[in-house]
Structure 1
Amino acid sequence: MIAVAGGKGGSGKTTTTLGLARALSRRGAPVVAADADWDLPNLARLASATDGDREPAADAPTVVDAIRTEGQIRPDRRAPTVLSAPDEPADVDARRILGALAESVPDDSPTLLDCPAGASPDAAAPLRVADRCLLATPLRRAALRDAAKTAALARRLDCLPVGVVAVRAESVPTGVGDLLGCPVLGRIPPAEAEPLASSAVRSAYDDLARRLVDEHGADRWRVA
């Protein structure tokens, strides 16, 4: 389980979670992408808006729905299984629910968690449950500073950063990996209003998926 984490809102976590999930799916992996940002849930909405409106976001199964199914969750290899936030997030324990999700997904299926922003207490729950985290950040000074705080929190919770992806970036300066204490695994170029509609952005996520598999999932995940 990989927690996609970063600094403040707008750092590209949700787009990276979905873009990476779809890239892994294009490699034949049975992917689960779950919204762990229950105060500002956007993952299912983004998936619906960028998927030809095949299924309204309101009809996407929640994380709680998924763990109530009998036996293991069976992700589809043709497209990511996207799970939305609970209908009543205040009534459930995030750490328990996300832990149950980890137990319900087959070990060889990549699971991505779209985390809350920053290093808040809400961000701690997915970081406690995930095996590793992927940092998503723009390259602005304030954003990098916030990403470094998130990386420090992740390390305290034994969720080591597997790498960083620079979003909306023309290039990545030397030293970003050193600042965040992990390798730069990808660079997502700037795009128009809908990044996931851009062929250049999709190609960048394909490259990120390849590098993430090489770095972390080669012996864990079922990928082509």
Structure 2
Amino acid sequence: MKSGNLTTIGFDADDTLWQNEQFFQFTEKRLTELLADYAGEEHVSHRLLEAEKRNIGVYGFGIKGFTLSMIETAIEVTEGRITAAGIAEILAAGREMLAHPIEILPHAREALEALAGTYRLVLVTKGDLFDQERKLAQSGLGELFEAVEIVSAKTPETYSRVFARHGDGPRKSMMVGNSVKSDIIPAIEAGSWAIHVPHDLTWVLEQVEPPLDAPRFRQIPDLGQLPEIVREIG
């Protein structure tokens, strides 16, 4: 096990190791089509986003909360006229999301395999416990991680706690992810390195400007570049 500048690497899961946001956007499109007789696509999407903002603190992140927000949006947009069949269609769309096969992103397995054994690899993801465990199991990547942390929020305190528990503290740790808001900024604030791997699709509530002037910030086009960056740092 590595004992230099860097000993522990945390990885985000959704849209870092496997596809996720595209399924939310596809299902949102289905909702706008279902409600097309009541409101335009842009209006429905706006109302859905507002519902998600209100509900994150209650339902947390994930498909189940998203489904409940879709139902709430449908009731609001139709002023209570949505039929039982319409509600059933929304529930079916949510179930389809929960059953969708995992699509591993390019270079994810190769990067993990290149780093496993030399560094402690920790999966740090937020969302619904059952769904995240399902995706990890189906991905076939679970054996490459020494620990898995499914958290309700990603804050500097979260990373300090996780990297103290599973590593040598945040100063000797790195977080890798696609979300600047959740994976990068709070990890840097905790004292860790942070590697941003942009994804073509990022939820609007996760979109913030990257900390380009932070000494411990790096950005790479894909996970294929990660082993080289890790060697340079640690």
TM-score category of the 2 structures, normalised to the smaller one: 0.3 to 0.5
The structure richer in helix per residue is 2
TM-score, normalisation: structure 2: 0.32
TM-score (normalizing by structure 1) = 0.33
